[in-house]
């Protein structure tokens, strides 16, 4: 038990350090990677808290896929966030401190950590544990509750995931070619860029491709290069 407490305290310290580092840093790449680290450390803590399924999901989703997605979005946007003036930070800090104090005040009413007889751990959770062995005959209670007892819930979640994917496809397009127009809100063109269209390049396997010009790539990478040639020529 003592070793578990030490582990817990270690994980908590790492989480706090990583979270504060996220507040302080300004490089978006570092922030995104630290978010992945935060997810991974919290996944390790989930194992220590007996939530193996949750830890598995958090490690795969939080530390894996969401980091990749954030990096992809960051490549399409900026690499650095601007500093926030100090005067703009006081208001949020006050709000956060007040909210935090209110929650600290509420700690006294929370059940003790690890209490087996707390209201949260008393009724329906135990019921699931008892009935899974009799009714469903599979050892993993989490899977049983997820797929069978709370099947409606999970169906809703699956639909939400589907809808979110649909939303991303509507916003960006499966081939990245949604909204290939130049954005002109109210008839005014704000930005010089056009939305990057789908890349259509000749397949690299057959033809010996010409050496890519790396000199032109580095400074003007983010501003979209004139795509007329690649759009027409690369229809393969």
Partner 1 sequence: MISAVFENYHYSVVIILMMTGLYVVFSSRNLIKKLVGLSVFQTSVFLLYITIGKVAGGQPPILVEDGHGGGHGDSTDHHAETAMNLLAGGEAKVGGAQHSAEVLYSNPLPHVLILTAIVVGVATLAIGLALVVRIREVYGSIEEDVIADLDHRYNLEGTAD
Partner 2 sequence: MTPHVILRIISKFLIPLIALFAFYVQFHGDFGPGGGFQAGVILAASVILYALIFGLDAAKKAIPPSWVRIGMSLGVLLYGGTGVVTWMLGGEFLNYSVLIDGYPAKGQHYGIIAVELGVLLAVASVMLAIFYAFGSRQPDLSDEDW
Q: Name the site residues for partner 2 (rule: CB under 8 A).
A: 52-53, 55-57, 60-61, 64-65, 68-69, 72-73, 75-76, 135-140, 142-144, 146-148, 151-152, 154-155, 158-159, 161-162, 164-166, 168-169, 171-177, 195-196, 198-199, 201, 203-204, 212, 214, 217-218, 221-222, 224-225
Q: Is the CB of residue 40 less than 8 Å from the CB of residue 63? A: yes
Instruction: Work out which of 151, 174, 190, 217 binds partner 1, going by CB under 8 A.
Output: 190
- Please, what is the minimum distance in Å from the beta carbon of residue 30 to partner 2? 15
Alpha carbon 32 to chain centroid distance? 9
Residue 13 or 65: the one with the smaller Cβ distance to partner 2 is 65
- Please, what is the minimum distance in Å from the beta carbon of residue 102 to partner 2? 34
Pairwise CA distance, residues 46 & 54, whole Å: 7
Provide the Cα torsion 166, 171, 173, 176; round to 10°.
Answer: -140
Residue 94 or 161: the one with the smaller Cβ distance to partner 2 is 161
Residue 181 or 208: the one with the smaller Cβ distance to partner 1 is 181
- Residues 6 or more apart whose CB falls under 8 angstroms from that of 99 comprise none
SS3 call for 228: helix
List the single partner that 203 binds among partner 1, partner 2, none, CB under 5 to 8 Å by kind: partner 2
Instruction: Work out which of 6, 77, 203, 211 binds partner 1, going by CB under 8 A.
Output: 77
Pairwise CA distance, residues 180 & 176, whole Å: 9
| Per-residue exposure over 225-235, b if at least 16 CB sit within 10 Å of its own CB, e if not | eeeeeeeeeee
- DSSP assignment letter at 51: -
β partners of residue 27: 80
Instruction: Work out which of 10, 70, 177, 231 binds partner 1, going by CB under 8 A.
Output: 70
Residue 160 or 209: the one with the smaller Cβ distance to partner 1 is 160
- Residues 6 or more apart whose CB falls under 8 angstroms from that of 194 comprise 180, 181, 182, 224, 227
- Please, what is the minimum distance in Å from the beta carbon of residue 51 to partner 2? 9
Residues 112-171 that bind partner 1 (CB under 8 A): 112-116, 118, 120-121, 124-126, 128-130, 132-134, 137, 139-142, 145-146, 150, 153-154, 157, 160-161, 164-165, 167-168, 171
What string marks each residue from 15 to 54 as x (binds partner 1 by CB under 8 A) or -? xx--xx-xx----x--xx--x--xx--x--xx--xxxxxx
Q: Which two tokens stand for residue 88?
A: 């703009």
Pairwise CA distance, residues 34 & 200, whole Å: 34
């Amino acid at each position: 038990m003592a070793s578990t407490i030490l582990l817990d305290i270690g994980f908590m310290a790492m989480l706090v350090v990583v979270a504060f580092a996220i507040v302080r840093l300004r490089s978006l790449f570092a922030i995104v990677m630290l978010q992945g680290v935060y997810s991974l450390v919290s996944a390790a803590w989930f194992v220590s808290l007996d939530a193996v399924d949750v830890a598995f999901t958090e490690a795969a989703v939080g530390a894996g896929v969401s980091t990749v997605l954030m990096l992809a979005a960051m490549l399409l946007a900026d690499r650095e966030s601007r500093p926030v003036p100090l005067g703009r930070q006081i208001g949020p800090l006050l709000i956060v401190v007040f909210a935090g104090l209110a929650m600290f005040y509420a700690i006294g009413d929370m059940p003790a950590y690890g209490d087996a007889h707390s209201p949260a751990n008393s009724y329906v959770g135990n019921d699931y544990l008892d009935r899974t062995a009799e009714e469903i005959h599979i050892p993993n209670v989490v899977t049983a509750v997820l797929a069978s007892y709370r099947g409606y819930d999970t169906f809703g979640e699956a639909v939400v995931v589907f809808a979110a994917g649909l939303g991303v496809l509507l916003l960006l397009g499966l081939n990245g070619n949604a909204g290939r127009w130049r954005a002109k809100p109210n008839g005014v063109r704000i930005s010089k860029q056009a939305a990057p269209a789908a890349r259509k390049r000749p397949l690299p396997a057959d033809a010996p491709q010409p050496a890519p010009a790396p000199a032109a790539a580095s400074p003007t990478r983010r501003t979209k290069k004139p795509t007329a040639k690649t759009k027409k020529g690369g229809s393969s």
